[in-house]
Structure 1
Amino acid sequence: MPYYRVTYYIYLHRRLDTGDVFYVGKGTKSQKHQYQRAYEKKRRSALWSRIVAKANYQVEIIAEFFAEEDCFAMERELIALYRRRYDGGTLCNLTLGGDGLSGLTPSEATKQKLREANSGEKHINWGKKLSEETRRKKSESMKNSDKNLRGKKLPEWWKDRIRATKFGEANPMFGRTGEQSKMSRKVMNFETGEIYASVTLAAKAIGMPMKTLYNRMVKDKKHGTSATVMRFVGEGRSNEFTPEHKKAISKARQGYVPSPEQVARHSRFMSGPSNPLRGRKRSKSFTEKVSRGNHPAAKKVIDLSTGVVYGCIKDAAKAVGVGSNTVSSWLNGKTPNPTSLSFITNDVQALDPPSHLDKIT
């Protein structure tokens, strides 16, 4: 099926008792409302309403257009053909056509007047509450409507309409390729330190298809391999980069701040089922390994007044009767230290060698 998007159409209203056309109209076709204006009875003239009150009528969609000007031209031709009642014809149209309001944007003053006229107590539904019966009927009507797609697959004609709105120049990413794309990522050659604005440019530089280079970089990141010398800026093992390369990466990422979308995506990943540590518990051996000062990063603490040595801040905090964060703040100089606790360093041991090293907790 060819990709197209028809946005304007011409319709006729024809009386069933006489067969005469009494109205020629032009409508705009949208993704949600296909021919809504052609079947509406609201926003019609008094003459149109009097005709409809006397006789039934049918709606005929006779033409569709890409350009609105072409649609207006046909509307004027049909009105001239059938002629208005004022001109001896059968139409109740008040104008000669071509004067539609599609695309008209009301001024802020007009918007404010409409807002004031329909807000608060002036609103038609102010203070009203739908009865349970009315709510039940509306619910049943929506469930049985053709527009209710819950649990259903979209029909092909619907898919074609969606596809048409995203095809070619209608696509917001049309023409935005390579470094112009908002999804573009910088790539660095960690052997030369050269940085490329996108994967495409990096692939051209080494004479490799873009998709091949991308797959190899993703594989290197996932498995820790070295299938290519290219890396996304900000990714890669630190031992693969020389100090010059690290400076180049730092300069490329200078001023980089994660976007709110990136932060939210990371938060969803860490809190969702994709988190690799979700649901996993530490083994007993691991817990014993990292507890009571056995962790490689643990710092021993000494009480200079008693000579007692603690394996970590947590043990010292328990002995003093305060939280471990409080003791950490004391020892790191963030807050005044009211105790004689101190980290064990070469300086501390040389200045005040403890005489009770046998009292190790």
Structure 2
Amino acid sequence: MSAALAAANDNVRQFYVYQHRRNDTGEIFYIGKGSGKRAWDDHCSRYDNKIWRGCAKNGYTVEIVCDKLDEKHSFDLEVMLIAFHGRKNLGTGSLANLSDGGEGVSGRVLSEETKAKIGRAHKGRIISPKTRAKLAEYCGEKSSMWGKSHSPEVIAKLSASKIGNKHPLGFKHPQETLPDRQLRARRCQIRADNSSGFKGVQFKKSNNKWVALGPKPTGERGHLGCFATPEEAARAYDAAAVAAWGAGNCYLNFTAENDLAA
């Protein structure tokens, strides 16, 4: 067998079948097929499985039933084991599985029509705080790339793929539109997600103070100081905004006070 054929065969035989065993009762409660770290990851397909969460709440052990399988044989073994143990939701056994197994999307290529349908279905979708918290758990040390770095070859490929990119992240406004954009930014009111209630004011957790962010004498936006109350920070922003742009050319937090001062 040639080296290339052997390598190809190794890539095909990369799947395994695993089971989850409860630490409190020793009962097998989940059968799955996967590769890599799939058996150990609490991936998103389990977040919505209340039966699995109920069985796993007191801890569980991952056991590899059989590894170095191709995808077809791993699916076949998964189906057989699920049928043998039975499913809780059907009243036939102890497993938290919600299907009979044999499904998967490895190597699946979506058509443009299917991609468009999926895009429309997710457009405007709002992720709940609970889901956001679970997703955040897998940042940092739990991230699959934690402590790793791309090879120079991969970095070169990623860089080459961005050449000519039309994505908004790579978009730059023409320089001639800068004055108009700056004027609109100065005149815009408070954003809906602003927790301080004042423009140019943010809360700084490290010192429990309110920070004013506004125009400096150089014209650039910067740190204007820390204050005990958001009102004090808002007045600092107003003073800097009036000094830089004039009272009639920007949005102010305390318009009446600045009118009297004028």
TM bin (shorter chain) = 0.3 to 0.5
Bigger Rg, structure 1 or 2: 1
Structure of higher RCO (CA pairs closer than 8 Å, 6+ residues apart): 2
- Is the strand fraction higher in 1 or 2? 2
- Using the size of structure 1 for normalisation, the TM-score is 0.30
